[in-house]
Structure formats: C-alpha cells, structure tokens
Amino acid sequence: MFDAHLRPLIDRPLNGIARTLSGTGITPNMITGIGFFFGLLAACALALKLDHIALGLILGSRFMDGLDGAVARHAAPRSRHPGAKTQESDLGAYYDIVSDFLFYAGVILGFAIGRPEHALMAAFLIFCFVGTGSSFLAYAIIAAKQNRNHEKQGKKGFYYLTGITEGSETIFVLCLICLFPHWFAQIAGIFGALCLMTTFGRVLQARRDFG
C-alpha cells in the first residue's frame, strides 16, 4: 500500500550508493545473496531469542534487497549479456523474488522455533504469506503473457500488482515482531487478516483483468 509512496524517497540514496559501487566488480546477484544471508541470520537470531540482533539483520537484509536493483540499473553490462545497457536480467529478478519470499517465511519460522507457544499463529501468518505471494506471482505470469507493464513501484523485472500488504508493510510488521515479541499473536492475527484481504482483492482484480 505504501510502496509507491516510499519508492521516491528510497531510490535517491540507493542510486547514489549504486553509482559508487559501479565498476567495483560487485554484481547485483552478489548483493541479493548477501541480503538473503542476512535474512537467514535474522531467522537464526529469532530462534535464539536475540530479537534486537534479528531486527538489525532484517533491516540490513532489506537494505540489500533495495540496493541490488539499483546496482543492476547503474552497473555496466557484463560481456555475457551482449547488447545490454545495464546488468538488469531476468535471472536477477528471479533470484530477488525467490529470496524475498523465503526471507519472509524464514523469519516467521525462526520466531516459531524460538517460541513454540506461538507456532500456531506463526503457521497462520505463513499461510497468509503464501496467499499474497501466490496471488502476486500468478498475476505477474499472466500479465507478462499479455505484455502488460506496471512501474508504479519503480522499475521491476516483473508486473508488480499492488495491495493492502506489500513489501513496506511486511517489513514493518517483522520489525514490530522483533521489538514486541510478546504481542506476536495480536500482530500476526491482524496482519494475517490484512494479507487475506489483499489476496482476495488480487483475485478479484485478476477476474476483472483476465476474465
């Protein structure tokens, strides 16, 4: 919901860092991998109830998640991509989306391991993540087939369908869980319900656009 509004604020500093990194040999996929590794460490920290360490790792992971795309747009093309003007690639977009969804579910899994009394609500929240993720990706597949384009959230490697719960809201909720772990059940219940509303809205949007 807030991604489109936050994008202009985030892009400027990320683009500045990306220009600095251009020519250093650091590739977008390297940054994606580092961000994913931070996410795995965050899940491990939550499993050990190191909540504030997990918070820092989550923020670091999401910073890398934004930076990889900026570097891809500013870096000189590699020789194995003849004719390309940047290092943006379909493979990079694939790595990015896979690592994102594994990160979201992994953080909640780590929390459940550390606090098994919340395992049921953690499972519910992961179920809701599956709904938003599948409705998002399924729409993107059909949109690509129909040559639709959407860059409201910034230039993307796939069609980006909006909703109540997007990346910004999910990151905010993960941070809340780290700061207020004793409120996990309430946070998971509210955000899970919003995720289900987002999924339902996307299904209706697909029915209107593809039916």
76-114: b (≥16 Cβ within 10 Å) or e: eeeeeeeeeebbbbeebbebbbebbbebbbbbbbbbbbb
The residues spanned by each domain of the chain are: 3-210
pLDDT per residue, tens digit, the chain (211 aa), is 555 555 666 667 777 777 777 777 788 899 999 999 999 999 999 999 999 999 999 999 999 998 888 888 766 555 444 444 455 678 888 999 999 999 999 999 999 999 999 999 999 999 999 999 999 899 888 888 887 765 544 445 445 566 788 888 999 999 999 999 999 999 999 999 999 999 999 999 899 988 7
Q: Which two tokens stand for residue 19?
A: 């220009």
The pLDDT of residue 153 is 46
Residue 119 CA to residue 116 CA, distance in Å, equals: 5
CA 118 to centroid of chain Cα atoms:
23
Q: Is 177 exposed, middle or buried (0-12, 13-18, 19+ CB in 10 A)?
A: buried
Please state the CATH superfamily assignment of the domain spanning residues 3-210 in this structure: CDP-alcohol phosphotransferase transmembrane (TM) domain (1.20.120.1760)
The pLDDT of residue 125 is 98
The pLDDT of residue 15 is 75
Short-list 117, 121, 109, CA closest to 47: 109
Q: Would you say 58 and 39 are in contact if contact means Cβ atoms under 8 Å apart?
A: yes
CA–CA–CA angle 56, 157, 168 (5° rounding): 35
What positions carry a catalytic annotation?
100
The pLDDT of residue 192 is 97
Residue listed under structure tokens 């250093």: 24
Q: Would you say 166 and 104 are in contact if contact means Cβ atoms under 8 Å apart?
A: no
